[in-house]
Amino acid sequence: MTRLYFYLDEPGWEIWQPAFEAAIPGVDFRNYPDWGSPDEGPAYLFAWEPELGLVAKYPNIKAIFSLGAGVDHLTRDPSLPKDIPIIRMSDDGLKEGMAEFVLMTVLMHQRYMPRMLAAQCKREWRRLFPPLASDVRIGILGYGALGKYCAQALKPLGYQIAAWSRSGKAAEEGIEHFSGKDQFESFLKRTDILVGLLPSTPETTNLLNRETMALMPRYASIINAGRGSLINLEDLVDLLDSGHLSAATLDVFVEEPLTEDSPLWAHDKIIVTPHIASITRPKTAAEYVANNIKKIEAGMQPENVLDRQRGY
Ligand code: NDP
Ligand code: OXD
């Protein structure tokens, strides 16, 4: 029998329980705080942002499944045992959802929707004439599971697509690859709409700041669906106010929820969404966890294990 602890920092148990019961027949699926005693035997944990110190109190946890692709909601806990494998979410639902969000927001930026919405608020009949997709250069920051999926979804629309990652990638039709610090500048200089899909690590923190964002062409815009730590928001607002950048869609923030008094809410060149670019869907996520538990039980390596050295 598989014992699976569940921790979600918001309601939702009712929709997760049937999904896991269908994916893992006979699963002993326990919602926090009813996990019982650690002495009952080995368990897996499926969680989003567990209370600090909680995991360390359960030495019977064999592996942690992150409810999201990111892991910062787990690794923020200094007492998290260093030897427990953390498996990052990468189910089909997450990829499809992100591709939908990226398609929607890229099209919005290309078609000047942030400017149209700002004009509508002022009851202005403002006719703007956007470029065609084939004249627009998209730059995807991060070419992992999500970046790759989004690039493939954007391709049929005819955009000029490039991606930037840490390691070099094999040549691919319709996608220009850039990698590492050396090629970051050339990547930014050729990017009209930048899509952030990077994890939060010390290397990606503040990567987009006054100097780097100024390298982007005038009227370039930014969509960030990776992690909030990527962008220095004060610098972003300055570059939007000066007219160097034309718009930003921000889905993720260092502090979530974004506080009510944040000036970002009311900025007419910024669209704020509440970390919903993609959400983990119970059915596909439960199947993903079930497959990986099978692998662990068979002594095989599960997919997408966090590399603690790299931070993702
Ligand atoms: P992956 O681990 O599959 O991909 C990460 C990508 O980032 C890789 O291409 C990696 O390069 C690149 N990368 C990491 N560090 C660097 C660096 N220092 N310099 C250059 N490139 C770097 O992650 P996913 O695609 O699954 O997810 C990406 C992130 O999206 C998650 O970590 C999470 O933070 C965020 N996310 C946000 C959601 C939302 O709703 N807003 C939903 C889901 C995820 P390389 O290929 O060389 O390893
Ligand atoms: C995330 C997610 O990691 O929602 O942000 O998957």
Segment 169-213, tens digit of pLDDT: 999 999 999 999 999 999 999 999 999 999 999 999 999 999 999
Instruction: Tell me whether residue 69 is exposed, middle or buried, using C-beta atoms within 10 angstroms of its C-beta: 0 to 12, 13 to 18, 19 or more.
Output: buried
> pLDDT per residue over 9-66, tens digit each?
888 999 999 999 999 999 999 999 999 999 999 999 999 999 999 999 999 999 999 9
Q: How confident is the model at residue 5 (pLDDT cuts 50, 70, 90)?
A: very high
Q: Which residues are catalytic, by number?
A: 227, 275
Percent of the chain surpassing pLDDT 70:
100
Rounded to the nearest whole angstrom, what is the distance from the C-alpha of residue 30 to the centroid of ligand 1? Answer: 30
Evaluate: CB of 144 within 6 angstroms of ligand 2: no
- Among protein residues, the one with the nearest Cα to ligand 2's atom 2 is 68
Q: State the amino acid at position 309 in one-letter form.
A: Q
Q: What pLDDT score does 161 carry?
A: 98
What is the mean predicted confidence (pLDDT) over 57-76? Answer: 97
Q: Which of 71, 252, 275, 289 to mutate to test the pocket of ligand 2 (most atoms within 8 A of CB)?
A: 275
- Looking at the CA of residue 252, tell me the nearest atom of ligand 2: 5
Edge-to-edge order in the sheet of strand 86-87: 28-31, 3-7, 43-47, 61-66, 86-87
Pocket-forming residues, ligand 1, beta carbon under 6 Å: 68-70, 90, 94, 98, 142-147, 165-167, 197-201, 203-204, 225-227, 251-252, 275, 277-278, 312
Tell me, yes or no, if the pTM score tops 0.95: yes
Rounded to the nearest whole angstrom, what is the distance from the C-alpha of residue 70 to the centroid of ligand 2? Answer: 5
Q: What pLDDT score does 168 carry?
A: 86
Q: How many Å is the maximal CA-CA distance in the chain?
A: 68
Rounded to the nearest whole angstrom, what is the distance from the C-alpha of residue 106 to the centroid of ligand 1? Answer: 18
